[in-house]
Amino acid sequence: MTTKYRIIELLRKERNNALTVDEQQELTNWLSIPQNASLYQQIKNNLSENEALDRLKAYDTETELARMLASLTPQQPKKSTYAIWLKFVAVSAACIAIAYVLITPLQQSKDEVSTTITAGTDRALLTLEDGTTVDLSTLEARLNDPSAAMRVYEDAQGRPVYEYTGSEENAQGWHTISTPKGGQYTVKLPDGSTIWLNAESKLRYPLNFLANRKVFLEGEGYFDIRKMPNDKGDLARFTVELPGHQVNVLGTQFNINAYKENTHAQTTLIEGKVHISVENETRELRPGQQAMVSATQPNSIEIRKVDTRSFADWKEGYFFFDALSIEEVMQKIAKWYDIQVVYSGAIPNDKFGGEISRFENLNEILDLLELTEKVHFKVEGRRVTVMP
């Protein structure tokens, strides 16, 4: 099915005479539906692009566009469908203008937020073997001293990366990287492996890492593990230790969600293959599969097929909700915005779906969720009450 986002892109290309043969056919097929053809004429006959852009200057472009897109289809959502499907998209000014002429921006219905709660940032603490803590956001100069076997630098996207380069086999002890609520950080290890830590997470690694490729994780992390040969010419195993079980890999990408409050630890495989081990059982994962291990009785492994976007979204800078309850949605939001979530009245049974940027202010995220007309929010300081 051609989505409303795709149609806006096709209309932009049509305006610029940039449609391919296949895209022209796609647009023609969409226009064969009478109500679509009528909407198309309204777009063509409405405000000029320049006029629309002039009127658009007063709005926060990205947020207002998301609201507009959510309202392009006038039918009310059915209970059997997702309650919401929103997507922040990068579009040209012409594309934004087309969206603008279709609707009038919606009024904010949520209780006014007394203070702006901004999205999380790249911040973490490094705890050394002797108990010394270093705030990585300060980028202390001594971390860039080669003799310290540690450094902090910016990657191609301008995000800070903590890299541990030590590899002495006789080194003893462990270092810990921990992120607070509202924090995330990228960690690079001596073998070239990269780990992205989500909010309120901890990663422990040994100082003799190359001799002992093992880490301990609490919370959530996305792993991109590099293959490394051992002394025998075979590939050295990389192990992630979790409460009650292990994840063993040779080289692959996967996400682990193992927050203490979760009923199950989830390992979701993106690429390659991994082995999940509990007591005397070991299971192999294939891409697109997820292993679930009970947090209270980690003696068995359940494997299921999943949409991996739901478990790698945060690393790419957005929330992807795939038929989640409002409680599951708010759990993700709470850690990233460092808020307390409480519920008043009956909790809606509706499922929510969609993509929302992780870098909007909290009130903008809540506004978008309220467009479903399934939930309402009251914000008092950092306390958010969810109401039907």
What CATH architecture does domain 322-387 belong to? 3-Layer(bab) Sandwich (3.55)
DSSP H or E segment with residue 354: strand 352-357
pLDDT of res. 21: 84
* Distance of alpha carbon 69 from alpha carbon 59, whole angstroms: 15
> Sheet of 376-380: strands edge to edge?
340-343, 383-387, 376-380
Report the run of H or E that residue 66 belongs to, with start and end: helix 61-70
Total-model pTM: 0.71
Distance (Å, whole) CA 365 – CA 369: 6
pLDDT tens digit at each of 388 positions of the chain: 445 546 666 776 777 777 888 778 888 888 887 767 766 666 665 544 444 434 433 434 444 444 444 443 333 333 322 333 443 322 333 333 333 333 333 333 444 444 688 889 999 999 998 898 989 877 554 555 555 688 888 888 788 899 998 877 778 899 999 999 999 999 999 999 999 999 999 999 999 999 889 999 999 999 999 988 777 767 889 999 998 899 999 889 999 999 999 989 999 999 999 999 998 889 999 999 999 999 888 788 999 999 888 888 899 888 888 888 999 999 999 999 999 999 998 888 888 887 888 888 898 888 888 888 889 999 999 999 999 8
One-letter identity of residue 67: R
Domain ranges (residues) in the chain:
4-102, 121-311, 322-387
Query: Which CATH entry fits the domain spanning 121-311: 2.60.120.1440, 3.20.20.70, 3.30.465.10, 3.10.105.10?
Result: 2.60.120.1440
Q: Which three-class secondary structure state does DSSP give residue 71?
A: coil
List all residues 6 or more positions away from 48 whose beta carbon is below 8 Å from its beta carbon.
none
The predicted structure's pLDDT at residue 145: 56
pLDDT of 17: 79
Can you give the C-alpha Rg of the chain in angstroms? Answer: 24
Predicted confidence at residue 76, as pLDDT, reads 36
Dist CA 289 CA 22 (whole Å):
34
Specify the pLDDT at position 42: 60
**d(Cα 363, Cα 377) in Å, to the nearest integer?**
9
DSSP 235: B
Q: Residue 80 — left, alpha, or beta (φ > 0 → left; ψ -120 to 50 → alpha)?
A: alpha
Number of H helices, E strands in the chain: 9, 23
| Pairing of β 340-343 and β 383-387 | parallel
* Residue 229 DSSP symbol: B
